Amino acid sequence: MKTITEQLSKYAEYHRDTRNIATHFIGIPMIVAAVAILLSRPAFSAGGITLSAATVLTAAALAYYFMLDIGFGLIMAALMGAALWLGQWSAAQDTATWLALGVGGFVVGWIFQFVGHYYEGRKPAFVDDLSGLIIGPLFVVAELLFLLGLRKDLEADIVRRAGAMRSAR
């Protein structure tokens, strides 16, 4: 299994333009929330416990995040827990509201992603490696921590592997 440094560095190779990263701060949370919303309505019962596809997918993603890094796993658990809560709330609404929030958030989130990659001049990371879909949310959290002056050791390793950030050209 790749380390957190390897995963984030590979993803960062596709994200060196600050404008691209800025769009990801909006697009990726929208997509994560939209997926939680859309996968929260279909639910099934097992052993007296009701589970949705969103819960199962979130549990699998969190297991992976915790294997990569306990600290990041804890942050991702809080954020994905909020997305699950939003998903469950949305699933309890009428179908039109549920679909508008889920599909609308998904589409708008991807629009932000593609605008960012237009600035980057490079295709999204998941096109070459589907693991980019699970690393994207982790990358946004890492970038936020770096902006806050945290995990500078990890940031330095990523910059050494992926190259320096670029500002608007």
pTM, 2 dp: 0.90
pLDDT over 90 percentage in the chain:
74
Residue position matching structure tokens 């190779």:
13
At 49, list the tokens: 């416990």
Q: What is the DSSP string of 102-123?
A: HHHHHHHHHHHHHHHHHHHTS-
Report pLDDT digits (tens) over 47-106: 888 799 999 999 999 999 999 999 999 999 999 999 999 999 999 999 999 999 999 999
49: enclosing H helix or E strand: strand 49-52
